[in-house]
Structure 1
Amino acid sequence: MMDECNQRFRDVERSTSPVPRVTLQTTTSPSTETLLALSLSSNCEDNRYHANSVKWILFSVIGGIIYGHNVSLAAILPYIETTLKLSSTQQEIISATATLSDAISMLFAGVLADTFGRRPTANLACVCSIFGAIGASLFSLSATTLILWRLLSGIGNGISILLLPMYISECVDAASRSRLLSCYQLGVSTGCTLPYIYMAIDQNWRRCLAFGSLPAVYILLSLVYFLPESLHWSRLAKVSSGGRSESLTVAAASELVVGILLAYVNNCIDAPLFYGPKIIASALPNYSQQNANMFGLVSSLVGIFAVLFAGYSLVNQYPRRQLYLICLFLVVCCFLVLTVIFTVYPKPADLVQHRVAIFILLVTILMLNVVSTIGPGILFVVILSELFHQTPKRATYTSWCTFAMSFFSLVINGTLLTLFDVFGVSITWGFYGCTYALCFAVLYRCLPDSKNRQLI
């Protein structure tokens, strides 16, 4: 088997250039043929990557918890407000701080990962997450100090959500990749839910923040002592050694457009997830804010079950492109239904006497949660980790897409309530529904099916 692999590698290497050694040293960027040769050679190396082992499943899930647990303060912000006597403006700044710093960190994290490797850059993310969580827990005596520690946590979040899915995709075979990346998304959903559960039990926001350091400690120890560097990065680093830059190719530019559109659609759940409970609280009589928060928790749990179902039943069974487009089409339909509901009933309070409309509203929001978790959620992580597979700047281009994801999240969450007040709920839902329909039209023509791409 080893002789056969070596012979295949020599045959492909000869077909790419009459003088292979000189070509590898002088070309400005690896060609598709060279990458193919290197990919063939990887099958001849020792298989240190056991995709189905417990360690990889734990690594994927716990890696996702880092981002999910630290990305939002929604569950603990009311308790922080009481302790630190925060104003509304301070609450908004604290809520947006981590998202802002994780967006900025993504821009340089991709360059670091392409230059120094996936593992060292991921280690940096873990260190930032650990110190950010512990610092916010122990040393946040005012809004200013909390903001500073949240900035540090945001850097860890931004680098981790960029690097960990990429590292996983480059360390396992194509057959196992989708399930492990689904495990990562499961970790993100679980991390978003854990603060609600923790605060229901303990109601100590400082301990809840400190708990966010534990997943990063596990990932850091795993990377330092148990897991190797990405073979994909190691091979590309050898090919592109010498500090030569690579221009943006047509293929990479096309996939960059696809990645940015995927990043935009990834935020389709933000409005119903974060503001759905408030809308429902206004629509239902005798419905307290605590009940609204419980609905938010139920929505998060529904998302977790959707990840479990999709990760082990859908994502690995059907083509990425087909499944994503179906989910995006259903997202557009859900936004259309919400637009119609709030056109007929302009204010949520108008729904109080109409049980059928309330039922349709609840079902639509839950359905939107499910399909957006499967398509724009799980498949965004999976597909993005499979793009740019033939360029040494893979992490850099991917970081532009993840930056776009955070940027769009900031814009949507920062303007949604204003749009509700200025234009009305129905027009706002309709506007976003139209943008997602436009994304569907473009992705229908341009979205590749990356399921069988080999990264190792």
Structure 2
Amino acid sequence: MRNNLKYVYQYTVVAAVGGLLFGYDTAVISGAIGFIQKQYGLSAAMTGWAASCALIGCMLGAMMAGWLSDSFGRKKVLLLSALAFAVSSLGILPASGLSWFVFFRMIGGIGIGIASIVSPMYISEIAPAHIRGRLISIYQLGIVLGILLIYFVNAVIAGMYDESWNITTGWRYMFGSGLIPSLAFVLLLFTVPESPRWLARQNLWQKAEAVLNKVSEANVAEELNNIRIALHTREGGFKELFKPGLRKALAIGIILSVFSQVTGINVIMYYAPEIFKATGEGTSSALVQTVLVGGINAVMTLVAIKYVDRLGRKKLLLTGAAGMAVCLAVIGWAFYNQMTTGYWVLAGILLYICFFAMSLGPLTFVVVSEIFPTHVRGRAMSVAIFFLWLSVYIVSQTFPMLLNAIGSAYTFWIYMIMSVLAFLFVWKQVPETREKTLEEIEQMWSALK
């Protein structure tokens, strides 16, 4: 094994810090939403808006990220996302009302939307084919570590003083703490090169070759030639995405992205403390249980990293979707029978997290990052991930209203039905891409034309 893998993992870890900020900034709301609701006296609909307003920014960031990264490079746009995170964290600290809170959350959302596309895209473009799934899954590990970290930070801040302090001040510190990892990401990005495939797309072949000499285990001349052939035929635009072959790839990317969210994961991530409080736990115990959710999420993502390139994407996706459906059925049953004071809900949620973290969590980004050709990858990922964030917004906005309208049991059973549909979709439509180079995957779609 050549020394190149040292650089591959080094650059992957830096890009995965974008995932850490993604997880940190999206999940910070979980510990703060109860306090924000009390400070501003929010209705169920307004609570949903406070929890999900950042997702408007996420959608904007996702829409811009493809064009920006294709025009200015993956590295520069990742720097932009890091700065957006920092501005958001700093701005919320003194925010004088709900409107300013929403404004700065949207700026942070733009950073999240950009990172959710460009970080896994960058990793896919530097990764050797035989470990590409593992490396992109490290990005998801960054997300879940960010979630775990902010769960711990939230629990520590919430325990510093009393409830009244948390309602007026504590939740601001929860958001402000994101400034530290944001600045760390800015500094780390100066240590990585630009994506070799983006450099090739700009006809900067010598620079692309220099990067590939660092990260590639294949014959660099042959790899450059394959990239040249793939880029030679056309310049990617949105119309290209709707041609035969790529049209199917786009549909798979969009639908898989939607299923990764409408199966309920962000209900758990955003509202976990509130769910545990509903089972009879106090604020402190609920936050501790939420840290446990984050820990399980991180551990099971390691399982995905280990097996994604051994077993393949499809087997793990099918196993995860089936397991999630069973767990959501159990959670709904526990609420339906008012058996929430024992361990049924906690056990169901932890097992649900296990199945999600080894399947739809990391592998959605793996599949979406690798199924599109280089000349349209940025734009295609923007479309797919836009629908991911739209789905997150709809689920987050509607969850409090569903609880009020139909109750916890039926709400979780809706997510169970979505998990069953996700299983059927993966089984029938998602191809296996294990050990294929990005250029070989492109040829697979070309054969459908």
TM-score under structure 2 length normalisation: 0.78
Matched with 2:200 is 235
Matched with 1:405 is 388
1:394 is matched with which residue: 377, 385, 403? 377
2:301 is matched with which residue: 296, 304, 307? 307
> Structure 2: how far apart are the matches of 1:148 and 1:422?
29
In 2 relative to 1, CA 168–57 (structure 1 residues): closer, same or farther, beyond 3 Å?
closer
TM-score under structure 1 length normalisation: 0.77
Write the mapping of 1:44-83 to structure 2, written as runs, cut at 5 A: 50=5, 55-72=10-27, 73-78=29-34
Q: Which has the higher helix share?
A: 2
Q: What residue ranges of structure 2 are gaps of 5+ in the alignment?
A: 161-169, 204-230, 440-449
Paired residues in the alignment total: 393
Match status 1:376 vs 2:354: no
1:219 is matched with which residue: 185, 188, 192? 185
> Structure 1: how far apart are the matches of 2:357 and 2:56?
23
Q: Partner amino acid for 1:86?
A: Y
Tell which deviates more after alignment, 160-169 or 180-189. 180-189
Q: CA deviation at 1:314?
A: 1.8
In 2 relative to 1, CA 424–133 (structure 1 residues): closer, same or farther, beyond 3 Å?
closer
The CA deviation string for residues 400-456 of structure 1, in whole angstroms up to 9 with x for no partner, is: 111111111111121123223323433333333223212221221111112223248
Any conservation in 1 of the 2:85–2:107 contact (CA below 8 Å)? yes
Matched with 2:444 is none
Matched with 1:96 is 52
Q: What residue ranges of structure 1 are gaps of 5+ in the alignment?
A: 1-46, 353-357
Match status 1:258 vs 2:252: yes
In 2 relative to 1, CA 333–77 (structure 1 residues): closer, same or farther, beyond 3 Å?
closer
Match status 1:433 vs 2:416: yes
Write the mapping of 1:1-400 to structure 2, written as runs, cut at 5 A: 50=5, 55-72=10-27, 73-78=29-34, 85-88=39-42, 92-137=48-93, 139-202=94-157, 203=160, 204-223=170-189, 225-238=190-203, 239=231, 245=237, 247=240, 248-267=242-261, 268=263, 269-275=265-271, 277-284=273-280, 287-311=281-305, 313-343=306-336, 345=337, 348=338, 351-352=340-341, 358-388=342-372, 390-400=373-383
The CA deviation string for residues 19-75 of structure 1, in whole angstroms up to 9 with x for no partner, is: xxxxxxxxxxxxxxxxxxxxxxxxxxxx99645666335314422211111123222
Matched with 2:216 is none
> Structure 2: how far apart are the matches of 1:173 and 1:51?
12
Q: Partner amino acid for 2:298?
A: I
Q: Partner amino acid for 1:212?
A: G
Overall identity of the aligned pairs, in % = 23
Q: Secondary structure at the match of 1:170?
A: helix
> Structure 1: how far apart are the matches of 2:183 and 2:279?
43
Q: Partner amino acid for 1:172?
A: A
Any conservation in 2 of the 1:51–1:172 contact (CA below 8 Å)? no
In 2 relative to 1, CA 169–109 (structure 1 residues): closer, same or farther, beyond 3 Å?
same
> Structure 2: how far apart are the matches of 1:49 and 1:141?
50
In 2 relative to 1, CA 148–110 (structure 1 residues): closer, same or farther, beyond 3 Å?
same
Q: Secondary structure at the match of 1:250?
A: coil
Tell which deviates more after alignment, 99-108 or 267-276. 267-276
Tell which deviates more after alignment, 69-78 or 94-103. 69-78
Matched with 2:446 is none
Any conservation in 2 of the 1:109–1:399 contact (CA below 8 Å)? yes
Q: Secondary structure at the match of 1:441?
A: helix
Q: CA deviation at 1:130?
A: 2.0
In 2 relative to 1, CA 220–175 (structure 1 residues): closer, same or farther, beyond 3 Å?
farther
The CA deviation string for residues 345-403 of structure 1, in whole angstroms up to 9 with x for no partner, is: 1xx3x555xxxxx4443322211011011111011122221121x25121111111111
> Structure 1: how far apart are the matches of 2:175 and 2:269?
22
Q: CA deviation at 1:277?
A: 4.7
Matched with 1:11 is none
Q: Partner amino acid for 1:448?
A: P
> Structure 2: how far apart are the matches of 1:395 and 1:62?
20
Q: Secondary structure at the match of 1:74?
A: helix
In 2 relative to 1, CA 235–56 (structure 1 residues): closer, same or farther, beyond 3 Å?
closer
* Structure (1 or 2) with the larger CA radius of gyration: 1
> Structure 2: how far apart are the matches of 1:181 and 1:66?
16
In 2 relative to 1, CA 250–257 (structure 1 residues): closer, same or farther, beyond 3 Å?
same
In 2 relative to 1, CA 415–454 (structure 1 residues): closer, same or farther, beyond 3 Å?
same
In 2 relative to 1, CA 336–78 (structure 1 residues): closer, same or farther, beyond 3 Å?
closer
Any conservation in 2 of the 1:102–1:155 contact (CA below 8 Å)? yes
